[in-house]
């Protein structure tokens, strides 16, 4: 175990990346993520066809002209899968960033302040963690319309409490460490101790939580889109599954390829997240996003 681990501090980023690189499963996950990111950035070049453009070639099986086949409206499935990577990754990363920022803010304040502030903020998280995501998304879609802004808002509202509880538990543990006591004895301010000593050493949990949350958001978004709560104006994997479900027996390709795209991306994110957890957190304190503190 490194010196950083022995005194309770988080390992350096370089050491963590080296450990991830030595893990073959995580290395494969990084390669898969790189492929997805490349596809999302260069979707227009990789799939020049408009994923929403219809044609007379409806429900054509995979061929040289349409390698993933076409759907019921003659739209190219390969173009839909490639452009769907951009939509799904954008949604996953945006929701995860906002959720983690809100969760870190609330969780660190609750854990470090303690007392009444801790009680009030934890009661606040319970208010937001109780409503089921699918039910809340259904209500929001019925009242304000089904689009990605509303769907993303629902996911942020329901995901930040789990991060807040996780960060609070980490801060409660870290603020009693020797190096924090030493900073306090030297006269460091509360803000300096929190932002220079505690939060940097809570980064293993925060980073791992973020990576895993991206995959969870992508799964939830696909599920909501599959049941008709997504944005039909954008070609996402969930929308493709929703549209192809009725043709599953006769045109299997309309569902198979978007389903595989979701599966491989989520597996890659989980592999990288697990490797980061093991590399960054020597005691492997992190277990699950929704585990109570």
Which residue range forms the structural domain that includes residue 219?
A: 29-280
Provide the percentage of residues in the chain whose pLDDT is more than 70.
88
- Number of folded domains in the chain? 1
143-165 confidence digits (pLDDT tens): 887 788 888 999 999 999 999 99
In sequence order, the 6+-apart residues with CB closer than 8 A to the CB of 154 are: 133, 136, 137, 140
Residue 293 resides in a domain: no
Would the pLDDT of 286 be above 80? no
Q: Per the domain annotation, does 274 fall within a domain?
A: yes
Of 236 and 285, the structure prediction assigns the larger pLDDT to: 236
Q: Is 38 part of any domain?
A: yes
Contact 231, 147 (CB under 8 A): yes
Are 254 and 247 in contact by the 8 Å Cβ rule? The answer is yes
Own/partner pairs, 184-187, CB within 8 angstroms, 24+ separation: none
When pLDDT is cut at 50, 70 and 90, the band that residue 17 belongs to is low
Instruction: Supply the pLDDT for residue 200.
Output: 86
Torsion of CA 243, 246, 249, 250, to 10 degrees: -70
pLDDT at 289: 47
Flag whether pLDDT at 1 surpasses 50: no
In the predicted model, what is the mean pLDDT of the chain?
85
Instruction: Give the length of the chain.
Output: 293
pLDDT tens digits, one per residue of 75-117: 999 999 999 999 999 999 999 999 999 999 999 999 999 899 9
Residue 12 located in a structural domain: no
The CATH number of the domain holding residue 263 is 1.10.3720.10
pLDDT for residue 285: 44
Residue 20, in any domain of the structure: no
């Amino acid at each position: 175990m490194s010196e950083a681990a022995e005194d309770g501090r988080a390992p350096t980023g370089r050491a963590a990346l080296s450990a991830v690189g030595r893990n073959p499963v995580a290395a494969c996950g990084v390669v898969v993520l790189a492929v997805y990111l490349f596809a999302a950035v260069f979707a227009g070049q990789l799939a020049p066809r408009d994923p929403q453009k219809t044609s007379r070639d409806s429900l054509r099986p995979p061929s040289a002209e349409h390698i993933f086949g076409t759907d019921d409206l003659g739209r190219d499935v390969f173009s839909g899968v490639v452009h769907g990577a951009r939509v799904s990754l954008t949604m996953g990363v945006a929701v995860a960033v906002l959720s983690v920022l809100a969760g870190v803010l609330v969780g660190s304040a609750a854990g470090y302040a303690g007392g009444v502030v801790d009680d009030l903020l934890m009661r606040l998280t319970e208010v937001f963690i109780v409503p089921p995501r699918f039910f809340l998304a259904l209500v929001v879609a019925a009242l304000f319309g089904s689009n990605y802004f509303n769907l993303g808002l629902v996911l942020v509202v329901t995901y930040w409490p789990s991060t807040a509880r996780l960060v609070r538990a980490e801060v409660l543990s870290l603020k009693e460490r020797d190096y924090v006591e030493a900073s306090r004895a030297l006269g460091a301010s509360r803000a300096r101790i929190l932002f220079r000593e505690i939060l940097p050493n809570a980064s293993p949990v925060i980073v791992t939580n973020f990576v895993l949350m991206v995959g969870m958001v992508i799964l939830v978004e696909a599920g909501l889109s599959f049941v008709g709560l997504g944005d039909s104006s954008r070609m996402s994997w969930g929308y493709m599954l929703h549209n192809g479900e009725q043709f599953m027996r006769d045109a299997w390709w309309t569902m198979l390829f978007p389903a595989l795209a979701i599966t491989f991306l989520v597996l890659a994110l989980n592999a990288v997240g697990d490797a980061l957890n093991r590399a960054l957190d020597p005691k492997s304190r992190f277990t699950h996003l929704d585990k109570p503190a």
